[in-house]
Chain A
């Protein structure tokens, strides 16, 4: 049983690690602004499907790692992630039966909320950045969600088929 669980968990952990790596991977200057929020997208997907395992505790710890990796205020990404994952877990039964279009709209709202919290904390701390740095990831994140959910869906099916 425990071995079963481990083999089912491993692919998901790899997804999370990959999303962290995509967050710190170097890209050209012009593309920085449009880097999708890989970590929140990944966490939304898995917390929505497996809310008992991947809940806000995970979101908090991973948020702190993102904070350290990006050198932002300690707790900034953690707070934003905890809030959106809280919403995703709270309404996971509704969200996961949504048709793709509606689900993408929900993800858009969640990512926008995530960026708004980052923006808000930056504003309180006196860090200014142009609006495109907040909107860019929302747009690209929403556009990439359908593709990402298909990929994660495949990972989920192959993982459950193996165990």
Chain B
């Protein structure tokens, strides 16, 4: 306890300096809070600190990825064979569907050309892996292993093979943070696939529910209608499936109908996702950030 004794002898100046340092650091924190809440001026600082957290994330992710690697390398031959068969069938089916699609696409572009409209751009897509998901149940965000080094930008759309998942809100050098469409802070411009009715889908904080609060009672909307991105916010390219309507409650006393939808992509089960480079939307991606 030599340390304790030496501390006691220096206690008075030490504790005075402590109080001073405390008020300095607390004031600095409050300043940071205010600046961060008002604007996003601190992105570079966040990026710098995020780079120090990156190795920690890799280490934390290591047991999970090792386990996946082990289970992948030790699957039995019959399992692999049956998976191969399944994938082959799937490939045939998608190919068959794609043949039709190619014809449709050609027809569509012919029609668009007749109307003098610009051709639809095919978006560039890249696969990213999810490194971690948020520890806060009311903040649905995740960290992916692609950053500004790979060309990721704020507001970029994230999809998987089923539908839209979310968008990037914060890009680091090697990793970025995205929020899911079910995050209570997220709003997504959508349209009904059936009739092109446009509205906005808000996250609710539940993985399997979106809220469509701005539809009037007489809106032409039914259960099982498919919602796709409208592309109007600029961040998301148009035409990607988002959700299906699960319930429509029309209360004559209320100005708006209560409409809920279920996201098509199972948001709590994603492990890999795809980032879309939306060439049209890149310029005004800043506007699409909510808050």
The interface of chain A, by Cβ under 8 A from chain B, is 17, 20-21, 23-27, 29, 32-33, 35, 50-52, 55-57, 60, 63-65, 68-76, 78-79, 82-83, 86, 89-90, 93, 121, 125, 127-130, 133
Question: B25 and A20: CB pair below 8 A?
Answer: no
Task: Say whether A75 contacts B21, CB under 8 Å.
Answer: no
Could you pull out 14 A-B pairs where Cβ atoms are within 8 angstroms? A24-B60, A55-B18, A55-B21, A56-B21, A60-B29, A63-B29, A74-B45, A75-B28, A76-B33, A79-B30, A83-B22, A83-B26, A125-B33, A129-B136
Q: Is the CB of B45 within 8 A of A82?
A: no
CA of A127 to CA of B161 in the docked complex: distance in angstroms?
31
Is there contact, CB below 8 Å, between A82 and B26?
A: yes
Q: Which of B8, B18, B42, B132 is in CB contact (< 8 Å) with A86?
A: B18
Q: Does B50 contact A (CB under 8 A)?
A: yes
Q: Does B85 contact A (CB under 8 A)?
A: no
Residues from chain A with Cβ under 8 Å of B96 in the complex: none
Secondary structure at the A interface, as helix, strand, loop or mixed, is: helix
Chain B 153-194, CB within 8 Å of chain A: the 1/0 string? 000000000000000001000000100000010000000000
Number of interface residues of B (CB under 8 A): 46
Please name the residue on chain B nearest to A137 by beta carbon.
B135
Among residues of A, the one whose C-beta sits closest to the C-beta of B170 is: A71
User: B46 to A24, Cβ gap below 8 A?
Assistant: no
Q: Which of A63, A65, A74 interacts with B36 by CB under 8 Å?
A: A74
Which chain A residues border B132 with CB–CB below 8 Å? 24, 26
Q: Does B216 contact A (CB under 8 A)?
A: no
Give CA–CA (A39, B31) in the complex, Å: 23
Which B residues touch A78, using CB under 8 A? 25, 29, 32
